[in-house]
């Protein structure tokens, strides 16, 4: 028995180190612990006797990280627990274990190629960039997000979240090298690296901000629990609650969250008229569903001051297995017809990003729920004046999921230099300025509304102009320095 315990202790320690790294994510925000855990991961890699051992350690570290940071994914299965709760262990382990494979692959390849810790940083950063795009992407809980409430987060305006992830891992590697080598030079290098990150971030944070605009928005949070949201007995209760809170109080625009109006667009005439009568002469944006032929869309509708449907935006980046089933024809051929979008289930993707024109409020880029986690989904149009995020985070539970959703919205504001207004069904609704600061918000799980001035945008950030080029350049530089032996000589000193 004691032998079995000893055999299990080391793998569990690898998983535990990854779990500690996840404590840097919202709502915990323990970035010092997370940062040190990433340094421990680099040390684990350095002490791996073979590529196979390195791969396992990287995978185990990633598993622990994603198990904690993505624990909220069990909540959708608890909405109807008698039918779906049995899927929780399969969904959680397959999701987290699958994402961890990318980290394991980076650990394996860097050890197999003998590129040293800096090569590990480059390949690990590349793995995170790939995670943001592979199979439509899922860049949730990036290492960069541990810096949200520190000055370092503002480096995202220059190098984006993927570049900041590379910088984070690089700094963690300096800590690892300093500890393993017990070298004063390595220790000084580690201190300088972290100090530079904080110093540059502080400089970026204190740059002058433009004054708020002279227009305002009203954000409505009806707090419709997911278990009751589509219950016919509760639909009018939630609608009346949102309607009662929609008095614009001088606001120029009233915003309701994702799918806040229950009927599909063609059947929602009475509801839209009631909203117009309540808010006139303001405009409104409401989330609802619409049907076009045999296709359904998750949409945002702009109501003009005259109460007409002035514009419709259809969500284009859908949630796999949540809003649609991938490869429907293949699954249908295998007999899973009732789960396929082609069989009449699931949403269809819209045509792509599109701006909404609010007149005096400028043009906004609408984002529906999941779309706000992707930096690339904020591209594809001319630069907007602000970002509009409507979401239903009730699916994410009442703890880490909604907090992490808000954290990513704040990062999108920092990266673009654009303010964001987010209306969330159960919270957290907020107005966020172009520095990622929450100006006003509504607490999670509370029905309410607020009116706030619309913050002004800053000039386009370096990241907006260069996209992922800074990340790729950092990765290329690390690989080049490793290939030319600059870092290998230093790493041999550590070993």
Q: Which residues are catalytic, by number?
A: 258, 315, 369
Q: Give the span between the Cα atoms of 469 and 356, in whole angstroms.
A: 28
The span from the CA of 177 to the CA of 482, in Å, is 15
Query: Are the C-beta atoms of residues 344 and 294 closer than 8 Å to each other?
Result: yes
- Closest C-alpha to 429, from 218, 215, 140: 218
Among 243, 254, 248, CA closest to 423: 254
In this structure, the number of other CB atoms found within 10 A of the CB of residue 325 comes to 20
φ/ψ of 441, rounded to 5, equals -155, 165
Q: What does the longest C-alpha to C-alpha distance in the chain come to?
A: 76
Tokens of 140: 């949730």
Reading the block at residue 62, the tokens are: 């990633």
Give the residue ranges of DSSP H helices in 132-226: 156-181, 184-205
Burial state string for 82-113 with b = 16 or more CB within 10 A and e = fewer than 16: eeeeeebeeebeebbbebbbbbbbbbbbbbee
């Amino acid at each position: 028995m004691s032998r079995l315990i000893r055999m299990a202790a080391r793998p569990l320690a690898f998983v535990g180190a990854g779990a500690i790294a996840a404590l840097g994510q919202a709502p915990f925000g323990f970035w010092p612990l997370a940062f040190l855990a990433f340094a421990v991961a680099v040390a684990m890699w350095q002490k791996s006797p073979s590529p196979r051992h390195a791969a396992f350690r990287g995978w185990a570290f990633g598993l622990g990280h994603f198990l904690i940071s993505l624990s909220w994914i069990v909540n959708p299965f608890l909405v109807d627990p008698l039918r779906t709760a049995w899927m929780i262990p399969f969904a959680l382990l397959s999701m987290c274990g699958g994402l961890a494979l990318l980290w394991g692959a980076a650990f394996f390849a860097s050890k197999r190629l003998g590129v040293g810790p800096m090569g590990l940083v480059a390949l690990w950063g590349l793995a995170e960039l790939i995670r943001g795009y592979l199979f439509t992407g899922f860049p949730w809980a990036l290492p960069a997000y541990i810096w949200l409430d520190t000055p370092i987060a503002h480096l995202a305006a220059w190098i984006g979240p993927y570049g900041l992830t590379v910088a984070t891992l690089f700094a963690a590697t300096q800590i690892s090298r300093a500890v393993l080598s017990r070298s004063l030079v390595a220790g000084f290098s580690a201190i300088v690296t972290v100090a530079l990150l904080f110093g540059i971030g502080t400089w970026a944070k204190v740059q002058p901000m433009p004054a708020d605009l002279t227009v305002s928005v009203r954000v409505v949070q009806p707090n419709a629990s997911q278990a009751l949201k589509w219950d016919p007995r509760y639909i009018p209760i939630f609608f009346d609650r949102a309607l009662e809170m929609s008095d614009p109080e001088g606001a120029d625009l009233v915003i309701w969250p994702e799918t806040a109006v229950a009927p599909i667009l063609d059947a929602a005439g009475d509801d839209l008229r009631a909203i117009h009568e309540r808010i006139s002469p303001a405009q409104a944006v409401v989330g609802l569903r619409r049907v076009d032929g045999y296709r359904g869309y998750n949409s945002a509708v702009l109501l003009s001051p005259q109460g007409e449907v002035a514009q419709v935006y259809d969500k284009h980046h859908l949630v796999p297995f949540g809003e649609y089933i991938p490869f429907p024809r293949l699954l249908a051929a295998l007999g899973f017809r009732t789960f396929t979008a082609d069989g009449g289930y699931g949403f269809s993707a819209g045509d792509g990003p599109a701006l909404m024109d609010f007149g005096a409020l400028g043009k906004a880029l609408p984002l529906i729920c999941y779309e706000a986690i992707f930096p690339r989904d904020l591209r594809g149009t001319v630069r907007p004046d602000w970002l509009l995020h409507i979401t239903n985070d009730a699916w994410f539970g009442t703890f880490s999921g909604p907090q992490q959703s808000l954290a990513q919205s704040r990062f999108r504001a920092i990266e673009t230099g654009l303010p964001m207004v987010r209306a969330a069904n159960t919270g957290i609704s907020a107005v966020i300025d172009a520095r990622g600061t929450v100006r006003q918000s509504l607490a999670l799980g509370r029905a309410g509304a607020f009116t706030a001035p619309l913050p002004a945008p800053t000039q386009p950030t370096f990241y907006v102009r260069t996209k992922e080029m800074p990340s790729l350049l950092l990765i290329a530089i690390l690989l080049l320095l490793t290939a030319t032996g600059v870092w290998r000589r230093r790493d041999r000193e550590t070993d």
